Structure formats: structure tokens, C-alpha cells
């Protein structure tokens, strides 16, 4: 009897404690609500003070990544780091979309291979993000380091040459990369696109970038940022299914190739400004790079694909640019392609890297011997 | 003693209320901004 009373007393005590806690948690308390509002405002003020280009350049590239494949956040941070931490080595910079990322197994490994084959240390920089437009690449080109020697490979893929203001204007209006780039602002002006005028405050100027990453802004400082994942193992372990080809890849390729005739001219002009920007700012050699392309695309759309290649070749000739299409040199066969333009896995990428090194070594040697070691 | 514990628990509750409100406000502002802006910040993300 006494035990049961004590038990009853205990549970009533627990109930009181629980109810006191719940009361504090749920019942709005004016000061708490006011303080929360003030804290939220202060939070934004602190963020706007904290996030500066200098701070970004000094932070790890994954700091603001929403998930491990947030290549836009990664490329943003990487670009700022390039400008700030200019490495004295020979530099190779590959700018492109996912096809560029999936053609390379390891930028660090590639840099080491190049260093071994050359008489000077070299570093390979992969500056790629899904569906990167030439506008984005132009913005990144503002961040290429000055005063070093090297090669800049720029993707002239089908995807790059078929962007248009009608279909992709948002990429120019509201860029995916958070870069302060004079070249990019010029593109907006040339296209008559009303981008927000830069206020000088990094956070507010790139609020689209940050607001899309609310989870990263709030939780990455507490639980750590996701690790940058260069290759997706799931993609690497499976070919695109016939159904996926039918529903996804063929319509995209067909649509893009259909648009090439009308869209290429404006993109070629952006590419021209890219080349001029790199030549005038960094002095590095520019190479036009054609991403890998599945032989079926060539076979299925011979005329349109031929037209695309002519456009690229003419531009390369006009600008005196080397044009690299390495599929044959790499000995790629159908099994090396996961889909239209992405290579399948480490072995396919190793073949591709070998062909790339074979092209890069003579170019870098020429640069070294014509100007002396940097 | 009991009152002091209860009071303490009320303040623990209020502190959590504050943290929840504060984080929620920051989060909600960013989500609303992102939704209103309509920027395709993650177009083709993942590839």
C-alpha cells in the first residue's frame, strides 16, 4: 500500500516536471519570441559580415555544399581559391560540364603524371559542374590565376553550344555559381538580361545561392559539410538502360542538335569572349575541347552532328585554337560510354586520361621551352 | 526544491522554444526566398 502511494506520488512528480517543461516549450513567451526574431536578424547580419570572397577563398571547397554532388557550391569555392592561392606550377585547367568531370578519374593523379613526364611540376584543375554553360565558364575564367603558365581547356560540347536566352535565360539571370565576375555582368548586359545589380555585399548579392542551401548554411557549421564526391558509384556501376536512353537521352540530344543551327552563333560569341578574356588576363594557351561522344549519337544524327563539328572546327581555325577530340586516340569503344557523353568508370577514364596526357605533354613542353620554367 | 526544478524545466523549455523559433525563422526566410526567386540553382544537379 505504502509502495503504491509512493509510486503514485512519483508519477505525479514526473507529470509536474513534464508539464513544466512542456509549458516552457510550447507556450509562447513574449521575450523568447522577440529574442528569436532579433537573433534571426543578427544571424543574417553576421552571415553578411562573415561571407566575403576572402573568407570563401580561405574555406574548404565543400563548406557550403548541400550534398556530396553539389558541384556548383564546390566550383564557386574552388574558383575563389584559384585566384587567391595561385600555385606556381604549370597549370592545366579543364572547364566543362559533367562530361568533363566524368572523363577524369583523378585531377591530383593527372597532375602527378604530368609532373613525372615533364621537367617541371604541374597541377591539373578540374573546373566542372553539371550542365555548366559558357556564361558560367566565362565567369570562372575571371578567376584563373595570373602569372602562371599553362593550358586552359574549354568545353565546346553540344550542350555548351545550344544554350539560348529563350530556353536557358535563367542561367544568366540567376546564376548557379556565386561568382563576382565582371565578364559575367557584361554578358548579362549584352543579353539585355536584368540581373540584380551587385551591392557589394557578398551574401545579399548571391542570396539565390545561399537560400537554396538553407540546410548547409545552418547545419554544416554544426555537423560538418558533406564530402565532395567526384564520381557517383551508382552511375559508374550501371549503363543507362534502353528505357532511359529512349525517354531521357535521345530526346535531349535530338533537341540540342536541332537547336544547334539557330543557337550556336550566340554561344560562339560567348566562347570568343571567353578566349579573349583568358588570353588578355592570364596569357595561358586556350584549347578547344570536345567532350566524349557516344558513337551512336554520331551514327543516329550524322548531318546534325557533322554540322556541329564544322561549327567548332571553323571557330578553332578562326581563333587559331587547337581542337582536341580525343575519343579515337583514347581508343574508346561503346562499352566505355555510360550514356551519350559520360564515360563509364575508372578504366574508361584511365584510357581517356592517357590520351589527354599524350596531348598535354608536348603542349606544356613547348610552353616551358618557349618561355622558360615558371 | 520542487518549485526550483519545475522553474528550471520551464526555462529549459523556453530555451528550446527560442532555438526552434530562431533556427526556424532563418530557415523559413531562406526557403521562402528560394521559392520566390525561382532560380534553377540545382538544374541538372547530380550529373
Report pLDDT digits (tens) over A319-333. Answer: 999 999 999 999 999
Q: Is the pLDDT of residue B45 over 70?
A: no
Task: Give me the pLDDT at residue A55, please.
Answer: 95
Give the pLDDT of residue B47.
62
Q: What is the pLDDT of residues A38-86, one digit of tens each?
A: 999 999 999 999 999 999 999 999 999 999 999 999 999 999 999 887 7
pLDDT at residue A374, as a whole number: 41
Q: Do B41 and A176 touch (CB under 8 A)?
A: yes
pLDDT top residue among A247 and A292: A292
Q: Nearest CA to A135 among A98, A99, A181, A91?
A: A181
Q: Which residues of A touch B3 (CB under 8 A)?
A: none
Rounded CA separation A193/A348 (Å):
41
The answer to whether A211 touches B33, Cβ cutoff 8 Å, is yes
pLDDT of residue A371: 58
Would you state the pLDDT for residue A373?
44
The shortest C-alpha distance from A47 to chain B (Å) reads 11
**B45 with A71: Cβ contact below 8 A:** yes
Mean pLDDT, to the nearest integer, of A246-270? 92
Residue A32 sits at the vertex; the CA angle it makes with A29 and A37, to the nearest 5 degrees, is 125
When pLDDT is averaged across residues A262-281 and rounded to a whole number, the result is: 96
Sequence-distant (≥ 6) Cβ neighbours of residue A46 within 8 angstroms: none
Task: Please report which residue ranges of A245-291 form alpha helices under DSSP H.
Answer: 250-281
> pLDDT tens, B23-37?
999 999 999 999 998
pLDDT at A8: 63
Residues from chain B that touch A40, judged by Cβ atoms under 8 A, are 22, 25-26, 29
Spatial neighbors of A211 by CB under 8 A, at least 6 apart, are: B29, B30, B31, B33, B34, B37
Confidence class for position A138, pLDDT limits 50, 70, 90: very high
pLDDT at A240: 80
- Supply the mean pLDDT for chain A: 92
Q: Tell me, what's the pLDDT at A147?
A: 85
C-alpha span between A62 and A68 (Å, rounded): 8
Contacts of A342 in chain B (CB under 8 A): 47
Per-residue pLDDT band at B38 (split at 50, 70, 90): confident
A286, β-bridge pairs: A152
pLDDT band at A105 (very low <50, low <70, confident <90, very high): very high
Amino acid at each position: 500500500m505504502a509502495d503504491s502511494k509512493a509510486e503514485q506520488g512519483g508519477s505525479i512528480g514526473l507529470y509536474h516536471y513534464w508539464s513544466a517543461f512542456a509549458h516552457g516549450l510550447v507556450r509562447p513567451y513574449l521575450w523568447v519570441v522577440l529574442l528569436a526574431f532579433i537573433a534571426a536578424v543578427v544571424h543574417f547580419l553576421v552571415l553578411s559580415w562573415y561571407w566575403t570572397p576572402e573568407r570563401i577563398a580561405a574555406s574548404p571547397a565543400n563548406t557550403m555544399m548541400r550534398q556530396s554532388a553539389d558541384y556548383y557550391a564546390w566550383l564557386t569555392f574552388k574558383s575563389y581559391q584559384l585566384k587567391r592561392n595561385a600555385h606556381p606550377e604549370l597549370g592545366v585547367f579543364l572547364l566543362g560540364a559533367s562530361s568533363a568531370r566524368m572523363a577524369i578519374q583523378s585531377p591530383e593523379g593527372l597532375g602527378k603524371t604530368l609532373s613525372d613526364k615533364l621537367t617541371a611540376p604541374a597541377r591539373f584543375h578540374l573546373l566542372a559542374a553539371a550542365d555548366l554553360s559558357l556564361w558560367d565558364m566565362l565567369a570562372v575564367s575571371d578567376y584563373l590565376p595570373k602569372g602562371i603558365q599553362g593550358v586552359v581547356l574549354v568545353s565546346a560540347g553540344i550542350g555548351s553550344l545550344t544554350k539560348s536566352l529563350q530556353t536557358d535565360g535563367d542561367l544568366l539571370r540567376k546564376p548557379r555559381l556565386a561568382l563576382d565576375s565582371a565578364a559575367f555582368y557584361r554578358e548579362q548586359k549584352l543579353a539585355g538580361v536584368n540581373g540584380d545589380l551587385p551591392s557589394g555585399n557578398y551574401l545579399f548579392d548571391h542570396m539565390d545561392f545561399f537560400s537554396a542551401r538553407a540546410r548547409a548554411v545552418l547545419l554544416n557549421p554544426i555537423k560538418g559539410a558533406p564530402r565532395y564526391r567526384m564520381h557517383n558509384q551508382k552511375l559508374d556501376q550501371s549503363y543507362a538502360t534502353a528505357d532511359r536512353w529512349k525517354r531521357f537521352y535521345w530526346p535531349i540530344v535530338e533537341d540540342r542538335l536541332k537547336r544547334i543551327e539557330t543557337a550556336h552563333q550566340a554561344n560562339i560569341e560567348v566562347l570568343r569572349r571567353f578566349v579573349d578574356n583568358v588570353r588578355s588576363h592570364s596569357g595561358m594557351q586556350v584549347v578547344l575541347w570536345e567532350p566524349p561522344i557516344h558513337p551512336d549519337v554520331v551514327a543516329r544524327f550524322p548531318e546534325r552532328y557533322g554540322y556541329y563539328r564544322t561549327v567548332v572546327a571553323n571557330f578553332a581555325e578562326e581563333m587559331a585554337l587547337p581542337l582536341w577530340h580525343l575519343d579515337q586516340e583514347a581508343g574508346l569503344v561503346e562499352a566505355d560510354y555510360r550514356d551519350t557523353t559520360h564515360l563509364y568508370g575508372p578504366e574508361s577514364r584511365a584510357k581517356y586520361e592517357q590520351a589527354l596526357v599524350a596531348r598535354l605533354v608536348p603542349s606544356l613542353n613547348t610552353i616551358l621551352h618557349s618561355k622558360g620554367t615558371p | 526544491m520542487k518549485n526550483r526544478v519545475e522553474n528550471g524545466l520551464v526555462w529549459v523549455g523556453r530555451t528550446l522554444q527560442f532555438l526552434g523559433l530562431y533556427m526556424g525563422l532563418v530557415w523559413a526566410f531562406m526557403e521562402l526566398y528560394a521559392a520566390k526567386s525561382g532560380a534553377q540553382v540545382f538544374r541538372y544537379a547530380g550529373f
